[in-house]
Amino acid sequence: MRNVRKIPQLKNVPVLVRTALNVPVENGKVTNSFRLRQALPTIQYLQSKGARVILAGHIGEKGTETLEPVFQAMKQFLPRLEFCPVSIGKQAREAVRNLKAGDVLMLENLRRHRGETMNDPDFAAELASLADVFVEDSFDVCHRKHASVVGVPTFLPSYAGFLVENEVKELTKALKPKSPSLAIVGGAKFSTKEPVLVKLLSTYSNVFVGGALANDFIRAEGHSIGTSLTSDTPAQNIRKLLQLKKLLIPRDVIVAEQEETVTSGRAVTVDMVPSNESMLDVGPQTITALEPFIAEAKTILWNGPLGRYENGFTEATFALAKAIVKSKAHTILGGGDTVASLDAAGLAKRFSFVSTGGGAMLDFLAEGTLPGIEALR
Ligand code: ADP
Ligand code: MG
């Protein structure tokens, strides 16, 4: 994998940079700019070498969202930034032609084109035709076989940006933790997290499972879980993991009737979940029980929230973060929304390394590489 410093010629050269622009937006305003700040070193390096920089990224899941609010937020960091309301075609080519050395152009949301997520070669070719060089700097999508991730590199000489290079370096280190080590995995969608959990159970001294992921384990232990969210992972897979001594699960949880409006609940032990209520966060006893593991660990890796934080169930996540940043361990944090909420609370910057990847981080840890990384080799 070559990094941007290896690009032989940059003066006046149009460079397409896949950038992580998918930041949280509320009422037309970016509410957290962590990822945007992480994108700056590569962009500013290219600008300083006189390249004509084209930023391509996506926002949202629906394929209809606009990057306009992201452009407004990014312009505060990059005064020479312009916006192009399309991603490909005549108007985009014209906007690129108008760029001067050191200018930056942000293309509209790539996912407005179905060809992006379908990895349509025609769409990839159109996108690639805007530039002479491709730079991958959006680690968070490197696990996706999308046109801008694996398609474009088949058409252009391709390099890793500083962010991607650093992610690969740091997460490769995280695969060989210093003992004793502690991994924490939260969030939802057990089925997508099973491979990484298995991998972490073979490389880390202890693995704590929180968030909705823990619900499957609590059920497999024979407890009633009420109306809690679970996955369709076969019970025998869960039971096999449960037998491993190094697997840690919650002892107490916060329960409430699961209504969209519910924002708080009460703590109960895992054997006391009422049939009409859901587990929405990890309880305080569980955090206390984790403290000795945190205190002795030399490496701590964490991905995914411990509770339904969108509804305000952030208490356990914040308490855990505070305990972790106080430890002397090498600490690694990841997960798009987890990072955004801990960044807003001023806690993210106290971790040794913060990954911009959510699913990408987990896949990298499970596989040791990603399609978007392989595409650069
Ligand atoms: P993915 O990216 O695969 O969706 P995440 O790690 O982003 O997985 O999962 C985060 C989601 O998990 C959030 O929407 C959060 O509300 C949810 N979550 C975490 N804990 C719980 C829980 N106990 N009950 C319901 N949802 C939860
Ligand atoms: Mg997520």
User: Is residue 89 flagged as an active site residue?
Assistant: no
Q: Indicate if ligand 1 lies below 6 Å from the C-beta of 269.
A: no
pTM of the model: 0.92
User: Could you please report the per-residue DSSP string of 30-79?
Assistant: ES--HHHHHHHHHHHHHHHTT-EEEEE---SSSS---SHHHHHHHHTT-T
Query: Which residue in 207, 368, 232 sits closest to 302, CA to CA?
Result: 207
Query: 133-137 and 14-19: which strand pairing?
Result: parallel
pLDDT in tens, 62-113: 999 999 999 999 999 999 999 999 999 999 999 999 999 999 999 999 999 9
Q: Which ligand 1 atom minimizes the distance to the CA of 309?
A: 16
Q: Tokens for 44?
A: 């500013």
Determine the average pLDDT of the residues in 351-375. 96
Determine the average pLDDT of the residues in 3-25. 97
Determine the average pLDDT of the residues in 99-128. 98
| Pair 85, 45: CB distance under 8 Å | no
The whole-angstrom separation of Cα 377 and Cα 372 is 9
Report how far ligand 1's centroid is from the alpha carbon of 367 (Å): 22
Domains, in order of start, for the chain: 4-161 (3.40.50.1260), 170-367 (3.40.50.1260)
pLDDT in tens, 264-297: 899 999 999 999 999 999 999 999 999 999 999 9
Question: Three-state DSSP class for 15?
Answer: strand
Q: Is residue 242 classed exposed, middle or buried when 0-12, 13-18 and 19+ CB atoms within 10 A define those classes?
A: middle
The residue whose CA is least distant from atom 26 of ligand 1 is 308
Supply the pLDDT for residue 189. 84
Supply the pLDDT for residue 13. 98
* pLDDT confidence band for 314 (50 / 70 / 90): very high
Ligand nearest to the CA of 184: 1
* pLDDT confidence band for 338 (50 / 70 / 90): confident
* pLDDT confidence band for 354 (50 / 70 / 90): very high
pLDDT in tens, 143-201: 999 999 999 999 999 999 999 999 999 999 999 999 999 999 999 988 889 999 999 99
* pLDDT confidence band for 258 (50 / 70 / 90): confident
Determine the average pLDDT of the residues in 16-37. 95
User: Is residue 60 flagged as an active site residue?
Assistant: no
* pLDDT confidence band for 118 (50 / 70 / 90): very high
The whole-angstrom separation of Cα 186 and Cα 358 is 11
Supply the pLDDT for residue 68. 98
Determine the average pLDDT of the residues in 139-146. 97
Supply the pLDDT for residue 371. 98
| Pair 318, 312: CB distance under 8 Å | no
Supply the pLDDT for residue 341. 82
Inform me whether the pLDDT recorded for 140 exceeds 80.
Answer: yes
Question: Three-state DSSP class for 158?
Answer: strand
Pocket test for ligand 1, best of 308, 333, 342 (most atoms within 8 A of CB): 308
First to last CA, the chain: 5
Q: Which ligand 1 atom minimizes the distance to the CA of 189?
A: 3
Inform me whether the pLDDT recorded for 259 exceeds 80.
Answer: no
Helix axis angle for 190-203 and 213-220, nearest 10°, is 80
Q: What are the residues whose beta carbons fall under 8 Å from the beta carbon of 239, sequence distance 6 or more?
A: 220
Q: Indicate if ligand 1 lies below 6 Å from the C-beta of 262.
A: no
Residue whose entry in the numeric block shows the structure tokens 């032609």 = 97
Supply the pLDDT for residue 252. 98
The whole-angstrom separation of Cα 153 and Cα 156 is 5
Instruction: Determine what percent of the chain falls in helix, strand and coil, rounding each to the nearest 5.
Output: 40, 20, 40
* pLDDT confidence band for 2 (50 / 70 / 90): very high
Supply the pLDDT for residue 310. 87
Q: Tokens for 284?
A: 């305080």
The whole-angstrom separation of Cα 285 and Cα 251 is 7
Q: Indicate if ligand 1 lies below 6 Å from the C-beta of 307.
A: yes
Supply the pLDDT for residue 125. 98
Tell me what the pLDDT averaged over the chain comes to: 96
Inform me whether the pLDDT recorded for 260 exceeds 80.
Answer: no
User: Is residue 35 flagged as an active site residue?
Assistant: yes
Report how far ligand 1's centroid is from the alpha carbon of 317 (Å): 12
Query: CB under 8 Å, gap of 24 or more: what pairs does 174-177 form?
Result: 174/299, 174/301, 174/332, 174/353, 174/365, 175/203, 175/365, 175/368, 176/203, 177/203, 177/204, 177/205, 177/298, 177/299, 177/301
Residue whose entry in the numeric block shows the structure tokens 């990057």 = 67
Inform me whether the pLDDT recorded for 337 exceeds 80.
Answer: no
Inform me whether the pLDDT recorded for 225 exceeds 80.
Answer: yes
